[in-house]
Amino acid sequence: MTRIVFLDRSTIGPAVTLSKPAFSHDWIDYDRTRPDQLVERLKGAQIAISNKVPIRRAEIEQLPDLKMICIPATGYDAFDIDACRGRGIVVSNVRGYASHTVPEHTFALILALRRGLIGYRQDVIDGKWQEADQFCFFTHPINDLAGSTLGIIGEGALGQGVARLAQAFGMRTLFAAHKGVNGLGPLYTPFDDVLKSSDIITLHCPLMPATRNLIARPEFEKMKRRPLLINCARGGLVNEADLVKALDDGSIAGIGFDCLTQEPPDPANPLLSVLDRPNVIVTPHTAWASDEAMQTLWDQAVAHMENFQAGQPSNRIC
């Protein structure tokens, strides 16, 4: 009987119906798994389900029965794909499940920052409206989306979804060419030009060696319009120490981040020191996590396990 072990069940919300594959199997799940528990828990398992618990070469070499890794997420940098390929282990991820939830979360951040909602809400809590001598006051900047320019880094399904929402707001949208790459065609704007001309820049690209620290001090210095910077993609795309310096010196107008380089964040992360600012919003990697999106994600994951068992693996990374 096929043994299936889910290493980090708590990464899927409690509202999701956790259906099981239709084939005969032995199912074990754990809310969380530490690295030192991984090998023991996967002994004898043919299928491992892991969202963010890393499975590297050292562990793979100790798991001769492992045949498939099912990732209930799109990102797969926590897994040693070369080692899996060498062992013939199928790795499948899920895609397209967040086509509504991530763009909507992106625009929730953009609207809150562009309209000064965080600052004004705090002003009311602090009693400033009650003390005002007129019906309104102006302690934070308020700007429309209509007529502004949105630079999108990442032209996949999520970037395209963000662009559609932006266009409904009357925004001009620019898709950035890959950094340092020319000649991608008329649908793309050179990377540096996007930095220079955007009122808001939003990231929707994967984290790879080529994109780590994609935005750092040199890029902030090119942002002539003091844009908002939004990251609902992956931590590590932005150098966080440089990000705080850019906030401090006014190179950017504010940030909305849903992901950090280390999650949960290291107490020494410089972003934690600026969380009380009205132009800073950090959410705990929940842009993907609407109930609807998580159910779609899980249904895909179950289908991938069933397809693997039937000899027709789907959404293969390797």
Active site residue 285: yes
Which residues make beta-bridge pairs with 202?
Answer: 152, 230
Catalytic residue selected from 105, 114, 285, 304: 285
Catalytic residue selected from 164, 263, 277, 292: 263
How far is Cα 289 from Cα 294, in angstroms, rounded to an integer? 6
Give the chain's length: 318
Q: With beta carbons less than 8 A apart as the criterion, state whether 174 and 197 touch.
A: yes
241-273 exposure pattern, b = at least 16 Cβ within 10 A, e = fewer = ebbbebbeeebbbbbbbbbbbeeebeeebbbee
Active site residue 263: yes
Catalytic residue selected from 114, 204, 234, 304: 234
Residue type, 28: I
Active site residue 155: no
Other C-beta atoms within 10 Å of 19: how many?
11
* Pair of tokens at residue 54: 């890393």
Residues identified as active-site: 234, 263, 285
